[in-house]
Amino acid sequence: MGAERIAAVDEVPADDTFLYTVADDAGEHREAILLSLSDGTVSSFLNYCMHWTDVKLDTGDGAPLRNGDVVCRKHAATFEADTGVCTHGPCEGAELDPVAVDVRDGDVYLVDDDYEFVRTGADAGDPADLSTDPGARLGF
Ligand code: FES
């Protein structure tokens, strides 16, 4: 799958997340988020928490940020915007699933071979829970 434009870098907010939808190799739609980084680049991850994988980080109105980290509204886990590593909370040490993006000439492109761009915004068909493991909810 080739590079597909997601949005202009200027459309990615500095104080919350930009939501978009991709399709995986099986054609399943998944939501993903873009995060504006302090160096002018952008990172991207699938839109679900590592604590309870059926919980979306961005529920359609932007996931909150604290000191540049993404905050899960459910139990306040925080994830580094650049690495996706959980630095605080019940899933500390876990990492968000990355989606490869690249910034070129002021635009953000999806460059991940595992995903195809579908649209900006949410996808009603995303079940959030990407795991087939019934133990996907870590103990809390
Ligand atoms: S579901 Fe996100 S911190 Fe618990």
CATH code of the domain in which 64 resides: 2.102.10.10
Whether the predicted model's global pTM rises above the 0.75 cut: yes
Of 55, 86, 88, 131, the residue with max ligand 1 atoms within 8 A of its CB, to mutate for a pocket test, comes to 55
Is 140 part of a structural domain of the chain? Answer: no
Dump strand ranges (E) for the chain: 4-8, 18-23, 29-36, 42-46, 65-66, 69-71, 78-79, 86-88, 101-104, 107-110, 116-120
The residue whose two tokens read 């996706």 is 84
Q: CA-to-CA distance for 52 and 38, rounded, in angstroms?
A: 28
- Contact (CB, 8 A) for 57 and 68: no
Partner residues linked to 46 by β-bridges: 32
Asked, for residue 136, whether it belongs to a domain, the answer is no
What distance in Å separates the CA atoms of residue 93 and residue 28, rounded to the nearest whole number?
27
Q: What is the pLDDT along the chain (140 residues), one digit of tens a residue?
A: 568 999 999 999 999 999 999 999 999 999 999 999 999 999 999 999 999 999 999 999 999 999 999 999 999 999 999 999 999 999 999 999 999 999 999 999 999 999 999 999 998 777 665 554 545 565 55
- 76 assigned to some structural domain: yes
Structural domain that includes position 58? 4-120
Structural domain count, the chain: 1
Cα(54) to ligand 1 centroid in Å equals 9
Q: Is residue 125 part of a domain?
A: no
